[in-house]
Amino acid sequence: MLTSMFNVVPTNSRTVRSACLLALMCSSLFGLSAVAESVPEPIEGTLENSRQKFQLAVKELRSGAGPRYQSLRQELADYPLVMYLDALVIEGNLHYATADAMQAFMASAGDSPLAMRTLRSFVRHKVEDRRWQTIIEVTERSDLSTELSCHRAHALLNKRRVSNAIPLLNEAWAVGKSQIKACDPAFKAWFKHSGPTDEVVWARALKAADARNSYLLRYLQRFASNDLKRSLADLAEIYRRPDRVTQKVRGRAVHQRDIAYLGVKRLARVNPGKAFNALQELTKRFEFEADQLAEMHSLIVRHSLFAKSAAPAQWVLEQLMALDDDELTEIYLRAKIDTADWTGFREAYTWLSAEKQNTDEWRYWRAIAAGPGEAEFAQTTFEQLAEGRGFHAYLAATTLAKPLSLGATLHVLEEAATASHAVVERVSELLALGMDWEARTEFRAGLNVSEIALPLAELAASRGRHSWAIEAAAAAGAWGRVDLRFPVVFEAEFQNAAEESGLPVEALLA
């Protein structure tokens, strides 16, 4: 019963924290709550009345009046924020909350960030209570954070399910940095049982070297066998002195190859010419994997485009064509623009992917680089670009000596955003209730789905949250929505300033 779950005087520190949370949520709208108490029942099912009921339900949870809360909870079954009440019930009674209750909540909370926040609180408490089976039951999912994954592994070890725990521990431990403190108990239990194998230690050493974490490289020595320690020492030596990458190293052949791979990558950053020469020698000794060769080639090419001690120019060109890497090709193209080498530009332009070739930026420069017989092509390209909006539309219009149109039709904001997606509804209600932090977390989570991002942008703009609207419009790729991306927040003030100064509003905005 809820009455026993929410006492007026909390009986433990976690209940105290829950009570404080409930108090904070109520305090900002205490006036609304007082008004809501005077509204005669039954309350009509309007949105405003639902908000008042929600605030009353929060107060009931705080005071411990269980039956009245349950009645309000039933009336709010279809309210977008009902899951926040369910979360408060769980947070307020973590010691007695069951795995079934937590799983039911997770299913109802769906994609809301509230789901994982509540799960984290639940699992942390169960770790303190040593309820290992409960932890295993609620964490049987693929989207766990590192912390929750470590708690699950710890629980599995304590239930003697070692084979299930080891993959989780390997993944959490084999990173190129120090892992979060929450994983320490799981790692300590693992070290007592068996600890990482040489293969896992070596994998972490390579990641530490890539992350330039020399401290971690030294730390890993304590987990290695005697044979692996020699390879780790050689790895550390080549890490410090990559110019010695061609010297003989000890250990298994695969470890020697990995050391050579690391050394070439580090050498490429400081002297791509030497890295090229070293790679030519090392390919005679080792059979590198395809992805290793591609990464070494990519780094040598990248730094050769800037360094004086570069790899041979012909080899760099061959690799640019073979690697099919738009980022590297763009670096090369900008160098050609800098030197006005339009013939070289036209050739390298074909190495770009079709998607990149069709962007405004590279269409503009391809028109600038037009060769003999391409005058009509360049004219058509400039005219097409000038009809759009953006920096290269401006450049194209300037090239044609035409006024900038900013597009033929400006998008007019529709009367209202009517999207009924649950995320939009939750953000709307949280903002209405003054729960800004919760609204922000729901909003940011929704930006991962482009179909939701645009309705969120329109909602934010309608509530005066213009920085949110700009972020969401960008996430949606709504580049034509100038009203969202560049909101005129002080339109009247700009108009008055324009009249006083004699300058157009657009000039003042610029």
pLDDT tens profile 205-240:
999 999 999 999 999 999 999 999 999 999 999 999
Answer whether 93's CB lies under 8 Å from 5's CB.
yes
User: 149-183: per-residue pLDDT in tens?
Assistant: 999 999 999 999 999 999 999 999 999 999 999 99
pLDDT of residue 409: 43
| Selected residue with higher pLDDT from 478 and 267 | 267
pTM: 0.80
Interior angle at CA 449, CA 446 and CA 454, nearest 5: 75
Amino acid symbol at 505: V
126 CB neighbour count, 10 Å cutoff = 25
| Selected residue with higher pLDDT from 427 and 450 | 427
Q: Treating both helix axes as pointing N-terminal to C-terminal, what angle do 13-27 and 82-91 enclose, rounded to 10 degrees?
A: 150
Nearest one of 197, 190, 259, 192 to 224, comparing CA atoms = 197
User: 411-430: per-residue pLDDT in tens?
Assistant: 444 433 444 589 999 999 99
Amino acid symbol at 461: A
User: 281-315: per-residue pLDDT in tens?
Assistant: 999 999 999 999 999 999 999 999 998 899 999 99
User: 106-160: per-residue pLDDT in tens?
Assistant: 999 999 999 999 999 999 999 999 999 999 999 999 999 999 999 999 999 999 9
pLDDT of residue 357: 97
Residue 204 pLDDT class (50, 70, 90 cuts): very high
Amino acid symbol at 383: E
Least confident of 92-101, 140-149, 389-398, 499-508: 499-508
Q: How far is CA 263 from CA 315, 316, 446, in A?
A: 20, 20, 42
Burial of 423 (0-12, 13-18, 19+ CB in 10 A): buried
User: 49-58: per-residue pLDDT in tens?
Assistant: 999 999 999 9
| Selected residue with higher pLDDT from 490 and 254 | 254
Contacts of 507 (CB under 8 A, 6+ apart): none
Interior angle at CA 408, CA 404 and CA 413, nearest 5: 115
Least confident of 97-106, 177-186, 314-323, 389-398: 389-398
Contacts of 2 (CB under 8 A, 6+ apart): 61, 64, 66, 67, 69, 70, 89
For the cut 70, the answer to whether the pLDDT of residue 5 exceeds it is no
User: Looking at beta carbons, which pairs linking 455-462 to residues 24 or more positions away fall under 8 Å?
Assistant: 455/417, 455/419, 455/421, 455/424, 456/423, 456/424, 456/427, 457/481, 457/484, 458/413, 458/414, 458/417, 458/484, 459/417, 459/424, 459/427, 459/428, 461/413, 461/487, 462/416, 462/417
Nearest one of 212, 206, 204 to 187, comparing CA atoms = 204
Query: Quick one: what percent of the chain has pLDDT higher than 70?
Result: 87
Q: How many helices (H) and strands (E) does the chain have?
A: 32, 0
DSSP assignment of 376-402 equals HHHHHHHHHHHTS-SHHHHHHHHHTT-
User: 31-67: per-residue pLDDT in tens?
Assistant: 434 433 444 444 445 889 999 999 999 999 988 757 8
For the cut 60, the answer to whether the pLDDT of residue 340 exceeds it is yes
- Give the mean pLDDT of the chain: 87
Answer whether 484's CB lies under 8 Å from 473's CB.
yes
Average pLDDT over residues 84-113: 95
**Position of tokens 């939701």?**
452
For the cut 50, the answer to whether the pLDDT of residue 508 exceeds it is yes
Average pLDDT over residues 463-473: 94
Contacts of 188 (CB under 8 A, 6+ apart): none
